[in-house]
Amino acid sequence: MTLRFACKNGRAQLVVGPDNTLVDLADASGGKFSSEPIDAFRRWNEVRDFAATFSGTGTPCVINELDAPSPWPTQVFGIGLNYRSHAEESGMEIPKSPLTFTKYSSSVAHGNADIPLYGKSVDWEVELVVVISDGGRDIAQADAWNHVAGIAVGQDISDRQLQFASQPPQFSLGKSRKNYSPFGPWLVDAQAVTQRDALHMTCTLNGEVVQDTTTDDLIFSVSDIISYLSGIVQLLPGDVIFTGTPGGVGVSRKPPVFLQPGDVLVSTIDGIGTTTNVCVQG
Ligand code: ZN
C-alpha cells in the first residue's frame, strides 16, 4: 500500500484504501510510533515499511476535520517566481537562485480551510507542497528526494497590498495571514511519486480554470530547492516548502482579479490530491 499520511486532532494518521479511511498510527502500531506527526517524519522509512504491511481498514475520513499533514512545522519556506510562465507574466527576470521567503508557521492550515479576506487584493497561488522527513544540512541534489516525506497540493495565499507594502518588499507577512498556507488533504509518499517532473497541477476559481501547468515548467526543481536551502539553513523534520506558482495568478490579469467573499478555489495535483477553499470576509 502506498503510504499516505494525514493528521487529525494532532495525531498522525495513515490514509488507507480507495475510500480514504483513517488509521491512527500510534494505535495501529501498538505504540511503536507515537501520535506525534513529527516522530513520523523523523522515522519516515519505518512508517513506510509499516504502511506497506498494514492490511486493516480505518474510520471514515471527513476531510474538513483533518489538520494540515504537517500541522506545526518549525520552518515554512516559499519560493517565488519559480515557474517560467509566472516569471514572464510578472515581467520579472528569471531568478538565478531560488527566490526564498518565509511563510510564518501560524499561517499553516488544513487543505480545505476557509480563506479570510482582509482588504481587496488577496490572490491565489496553487503550489506543489513538499514536507521534509529527516532533514539536514548540505543535502546533495541527487539525495534530495530521500529527505522528502511526501507531497501535497496547497495554496500560497497572498495579500498583494501587504506583500508590497514596504520597499524593498518583504513578502513574509503578506503571505502569512490566518489560513494563508493551506495544504493537504494528505501527503503522498515521495517514493511513490514517479512523475515528479510531470505532475499536472490546476487551480479553478468558481469553476473556471485559472492556473494549469505541469511541474516541468519549474525553474528550480524540488531537488534544486532542497540542495540550495540546506546549504544555508538546517532543514528539520516536518518543514514545509511551497515550491512556487505557475502563471495565471490574479494580480497579473488585465484588469487584475482578486478574491471576493464566497469565491471557491479548487486546487488539484493529479494523482496526489485536491483541496477546496472558500473565501470569507476577514
Ligand atoms: Zn507562491
The secondary structure element, H or E, covering residue 181 is strand 181-189
CA–CA separation, 135 vs 199, rounded Å? 24
Give the model confidence (pLDDT) of 61-93 as tens digits: 999 999 999 999 999 999 999 999 998 898 888
pLDDT at 232 over 80: yes
CA of 20 to the centre of ligand 1 (A): 28
CA of 136 to the centre of ligand 1 (A): 24
Last residue of a domain, one of 24, 41, 65: 65
| Residue 215, number of CB atoms within 10 A of its CB | 21
CA of 191 to the centre of ligand 1 (A): 24
Give the model confidence (pLDDT) of 201-214 as tens digits: 999 999 999 999 99
Same domain, 143 and 191: yes
Structure confidence at residue 162 as a pLDDT band (50, 70, 90): very high
Last residue of a domain, one of 16, 31, 65: 65
The three cell numbers of residue 130 are 513538499
Burial of 157 (0-12, 13-18, 19+ CB in 10 A): buried
pLDDT at 167 over 80: yes
CA of 266 to the centre of ligand 1 (A): 16
**Which among 46, 24, 55, 42 is positioned nearest to 147, based on CA atoms?**
42
Same domain, 180 and 50: no
CA of 156 to the centre of ligand 1 (A): 5
Mean predicted confidence (pLDDT) in 88-100: 91
Structure confidence at residue 57 as a pLDDT band (50, 70, 90): confident
Model confidence pTM above 0.75: yes
Q: Is residue 46 part of a domain?
A: yes
CA–CA separation, 164 vs 170, rounded Å? 7
pLDDT at 37: 98
Same domain, 146 and 83: yes
Last residue of a domain, one of 16, 43, 65: 65
Q: Is residue 134 part of a domain?
A: yes
Mean predicted confidence (pLDDT) in 239-247: 97
Total of domains in the chain: 2
Burial of 13 (0-12, 13-18, 19+ CB in 10 A): buried
CA of 42 to the centre of ligand 1 (A): 26
Counting DSSP H helices and E strands in the chain, the numbers are: 6, 17
CA of 257 to the centre of ligand 1 (A): 16
Same domain, 150 and 27: no
The three cell numbers of residue 196 are 515528479
pLDDT at 33: 97
Same domain, 15 and 125: no
H-type alpha helices, the chain: 25-28, 37-42, 44-53, 84-89, 160-163, 222-230
Percent of the chain with pLDDT over 70: 100
Distance of CA 60 to the CA centre of its chain: 23
Same domain, 128 and 230: yes
CA of 45 to the centre of ligand 1 (A): 29
CATH number at residue 264: 3.90.850.10
Same domain, 81 and 204: yes
pLDDT at 92: 86
Single-letter amino acid code for the residue at 109: A
Structure confidence at residue 191 as a pLDDT band (50, 70, 90): very high
pLDDT at 251 over 80: yes
CA–CA separation, 114 vs 250, rounded Å? 18
Mean predicted confidence (pLDDT) in 3-31: 97
Instruction: State the virtual CA torsion across 233, 236, 240, 246 in degrees, nearest 10.
Output: 40
CA of 80 to the centre of ligand 1 (A): 5
Structure confidence at residue 139 as a pLDDT band (50, 70, 90): very high
Q: Is residue 70 part of a domain?
A: no
CA–CA separation, 231 vs 64, rounded Å? 37
pLDDT at 1: 77
Task: Give me the domain span that covers residue 43.
Answer: 4-65
Same domain, 46 and 107: no
Q: Is residue 71 part of a domain?
A: no
